[in-house]
Amino acid sequence: MQKMSCFFPLLFVCLDVCVVHFIRLAQHSPLLLSCPFVTLWGGGLTRASILLFLSSTYPRAMPWMSSSEGLHSLGVLCFHFPAYTSVLWMLGRPVMEELWGWHSWERVLQGYVVTVVAWLYWTRYVSSFLVSWARYISSWFTNVSAEKPKEDDSGASLKRLLGYMQPYVGRFIFVLVLVFLSSYGEMAIPQYTGQVANWIMNEESPDAFTEAITVMTLMTLASAVLEFICDLTYNITMSRIHASVQGVVFQAVLKQEIAFFESTTTGELVSRITTDTNDMSEALSEKLSLLMWYAARFGFLLFFMVSQSWKMTLLTCMGLPIIWIIPELTGHFHQTMARKVQESLAKANQVATETFSNMKTVRSFANEDGETARYRKRLEETYSLNKREAVAYATSTWASSMTTLALKVFILYYGGTLVTGGSVTSGGLVSFVLYELQFASAVEAVMRYYPEVKKAIGASEKIFEYLDRKPQVPPDGTLEPKNLKGHIQFQNVSFSYAGKTEEKSLVLKDVSFEIKPGQTTALVGLNRSGKSTCVKLLERFYQPQSGVILLDGKPLDKYKDQYLHDKISVVSQDCLLFARSVKENIKYGCEEASDDDMYEAARRACAHDFIDKLSNGYNTDAGEKGGQVSGGQKQRIAIARALIRRPKVLILDNATSDLDVENEYQVHQHLLNQNDHCSVLLISNKMGVVEKADHIIVLDNGMVKEEGRHNELMEKHGLYADLVEKQNTGFQRKGEDMNSTE
């Protein structure tokens, strides 16, 4: 099978050569002698048909030959020469040699070289470039936002990025004009060096020399200044766009429902907002800018090269893929060797790490020499790989410089023949060689930066994912009554975090209770009985699967979100402070409150006295997550933060758990005895605190088990009495344990 697939190319070439010579004989027949163009095109067609027939019918032909790439190459092989000759004829150039010498060995070989070069261009650069542009253009005509985002949808992402760039369109046009002018200015050195060379050769006009030098200097200076202004404008604009994209993504993330934050890690969120946007903007600032520069240079260089000599330009373009491919092949070998060296080094390191971490065992068995020998053996392996890597590196660098050199020499040789033939001046050749030096690197840079920019644009899709995500929250309500009593009713509420309605996944099951205006209601129960879940539903973090929660007789979701969070304030056990001053923490979300309101709220939370004693009073920094103040102080600041809004419903979910008995008693006395018609929902494991509530609701496994006042519930001898008893026994036992240890 392997033999057969090698045999096919040989067969292909032999048949091709036979066909070419058969056509050549036909060309000399009296019938076709007078119309060489017909033979040229007809011969191309016959050649293509026969080769196509062979490729499609020969059983062991290479499948590649029937692919679009194969057909494309076949087309180039058979028709490039007729096309070239026809273009020459249309331009009025002599074509005798081409018409009668097309079948020579030299021409046939040249045809194969052209086909290989065309194939390299097509597969490596043109096709991917065309595909991406086709995709990009089609994204302008289709509503991509309605489609599911694709992995490599850089066209759609680019469209969206351009949307952010729209306000700065004037600046971008300015930048493009500068890029254009500055790149044009860079052409001065090769152009005028050529003119200087002409002057030196001919010494025609002494003024021409001074003029060329002056223009060259001025243009180069102007180009440098324009480049500076352009870089500055571009980078400032990109930073602006970066900041605005970051701001929009941050806002979009904040609008998501609470469940989203529970299922997405903080690291992931921060990474999207900072790292991903940074990567994208860095790639766009740096690489897009380079791509623009090199693309403009490429355009100008190509233009000036063609204007000097289109033949030499064609030769350069044909040589470029070859000078990229050869170093790439040798570079591939070098990379493989480098990877092997890394792996071998890692193995040697592993021996060292293992030995050091088990040093006691090594010493116990007196095996230091054994380990040293093992390490040395690994190093020997690395050394032998290093030698091969050095050879590969040298070969790769040598191949790279040799192919570049070969192309230059070839161009110089060919240019020299053109100069002797009189079609190019000596100065023109000098200019061309200088253009060509820049041209290869410009093409290489465009080829390198284009995929990188495309990748960066594609990566921005990740950022847009958050912008596109619709928060799973019901639409905001409209109610914001002036007078709110703070009357809450849970009516047959069932809820599951997983959004399922089966009994086993329900966290709250048909829960109904009431929090009367101005009263203190306590919610008690064993751990995981669903107390905090009730609070989360009151905060509208989640929606119940069935049942309804009423506030003053109206469903909770009919109220405006901002209004609801002003009227229902929650202080939970894990209340966090921000790394800002105590003052900013208390006024959080309520910045318009006066300092007097703040002091009052702090007094009601029993926080004023200790805040006053802090090093900077209310201006003391609370530290990261409130780390500069104690747990109890943090909780009192959080209560003040809740009270400053003058809520109608205050929820304390284990909010005083970190306070000592004395302080906790004080805080509760303050909060529960205030006559400001605020309903309080108290969740606490400390039954001594709970017993003072006006109404106590006992939850068990997501269901309301009992409710009433402390005395009523104690008389029932149910779950509540049990909880109280257990806590008392617990305290007693703890006391006894402590006594016995004393």
Ligand X SMILES: Nc1ncnc2c1ncn2[C@@H]1O[C@H](COP(=O)(O)OP(=O)(O)OP(=O)(O)O)[C@@H](O)[C@H]1O
Tokens linked to 643: 């009270």
Count of CB atoms situated within 10 Å of the CB of 62: 16
Q: Residues 660, 579: contact at Cβ < 8 Å?
A: no
What is the footprint of ligand X within residues 501-520 (CB under 6 A)? 507
Task: Lay out the sheet containing 649-653: strands in order across.
Answer: 568-572, 649-653, 679-683, 520-525, 695-700, 703-708
Region of 265-273, 475-483, 530-538, 715-723 interacting with ligand X (CB under 6 A): 530-538
Among 527, 615, 740, 741, the residue binding ligand X under the rule CB under 6 A is: 527
Q: How far apart are CA 424 and CA 401, in angstroms?
A: 27
Decide whether 566 or 691 has the Cβ nearer to ligand X: 691
64 touches ligand X by CB under 6 A:
no
Q: How far apart are CA 274 and CA 73, in angstroms?
A: 47
Nearest to 316 by CA among 495, 121, 108: 121
- Shortest Å distance, C-beta 535 to ligand X: 8
Q: What are phi and psi of 568, to 5 degrees?
A: -115, 110
Region of 41-49, 196-204, 240-248, 522-530 interacting with ligand X (CB under 6 A): 522-530
Q: Residues 12, 20: contact at Cβ < 8 Å?
A: no
Among 438, 494, 532, 684, the residue binding ligand X under the rule CB under 6 A is: 532
Decide whether 28 or 528 has the Cβ nearer to ligand X: 528
Decide whether 36 or 525 has the Cβ nearer to ligand X: 525
262 touches ligand X by CB under 6 A:
yes
Decide whether 528 or 625 has the Cβ nearer to ligand X: 528
Question: Which H, E and C letters describe 330-363, residue by residue?
Answer: HHHHHHHHHHHHHHHHHHHHHHHHHHHHCHHHHH
Find the angle CA(500)-CA(502)-CA(505) to the nearest 5 degrees.
70
494 touches ligand X by CB under 6 A:
no
Among 415, 530, 626, 647, the residue binding ligand X under the rule CB under 6 A is: 530
533 touches ligand X by CB under 6 A:
yes
Decide whether 285 or 529 has the Cβ nearer to ligand X: 529
Among 297, 531, 634, 641, the residue binding ligand X under the rule CB under 6 A is: 531
Among 332, 347, 528, 733, the residue binding ligand X under the rule CB under 6 A is: 528
Decide whether 205 or 546 has the Cβ nearer to ligand X: 546
Cα-trace Rg, the chain:
41
Task: List the alpha helices (DSSP H) in 587-650.
Answer: 595-604, 608-613, 631-643
Region of 327-335, 347-355, 430-438, 521-529 interacting with ligand X (CB under 6 A): 521-529
Decide whether 308 or 533 has the Cβ nearer to ligand X: 533
Among 497, 555, 617, 725, the residue binding ligand X under the rule CB under 6 A is: 497
Tokens linked to 269: 């969120």
Among 428, 525, 544, 647, the residue binding ligand X under the rule CB under 6 A is: 525
Distance of CA 560 to the CA centre of its chain: 36
143 touches ligand X by CB under 6 A:
no
529 touches ligand X by CB under 6 A:
yes
- x/- letters, 446..485, toward ligand X (CB under 6 A): ----------------------------------------
- x/- letters, 210..249, toward ligand X (CB under 6 A): ----------------------------------------
Number of residues that bind ligand X (CB under 6 A): 11
Decide whether 552 or 700 has the Cβ nearer to ligand X: 700
What is the footprint of ligand X within residues 576-605 (CB under 6 A)? none
Decide whether 21 or 500 has the Cβ nearer to ligand X: 500
- Shortest Å distance, C-beta 493 to ligand X: 13
Q: How far apart are CA 642 and CA 657, in angstroms?
A: 17
* Range 179-184, long-range pairs (CB < 8 A, 24+ positions): 179/230, 179/292, 179/293, 179/296, 180/296, 181/222, 181/223, 181/226, 182/222, 182/223, 182/224, 182/226, 182/227, 182/230, 182/296, 183/223, 183/293, 183/296, 183/297, 183/299, 183/300, 184/223, 184/300
Cβ-based neighbours of 173, under 8 Å, separated by 6 or more: none
Region of 199-207, 243-251, 388-396, 528-536 interacting with ligand X (CB under 6 A): 528-536
Region of 48-56, 243-251, 408-416, 524-532 interacting with ligand X (CB under 6 A): 524-532
- Shortest Å distance, C-beta 262 to ligand X: 5
Nearest to 37 by CA among 92, 109, 95: 95
Query: H/E element holding 175?
Result: helix 169-186
- Shortest Å distance, C-beta 538 to ligand X: 12
Decide whether 272 or 531 has the Cβ nearer to ligand X: 531
Count of CB atoms situated within 10 Å of the CB of 395: 15
Tokens linked to 210: 């001074």
DSSP string of 694-723? Answer: SEEEEEETTEEEEEE-HHHHHHHTSHHHHH
Decide whether 193 or 529 has the Cβ nearer to ligand X: 529
413 touches ligand X by CB under 6 A:
no
What type of residue is 564?
A: L
CA distances for 84 relative to 109, 265, 521, 566, angstroms: 16, 62, 94, 80
Decide whether 39 or 684 has the Cβ nearer to ligand X: 684
Cβ-based neighbours of 460, under 8 Å, separated by 6 or more: 157, 160, 161, 276, 280
Decide whether 223 or 529 has the Cβ nearer to ligand X: 529
Cβ-based neighbours of 613, under 8 Å, separated by 6 or more: none
- Shortest Å distance, C-beta 685 to ligand X: 7
* Residues making contact with ligand X (CB under 6 A): 262, 497, 507, 525, 527-533
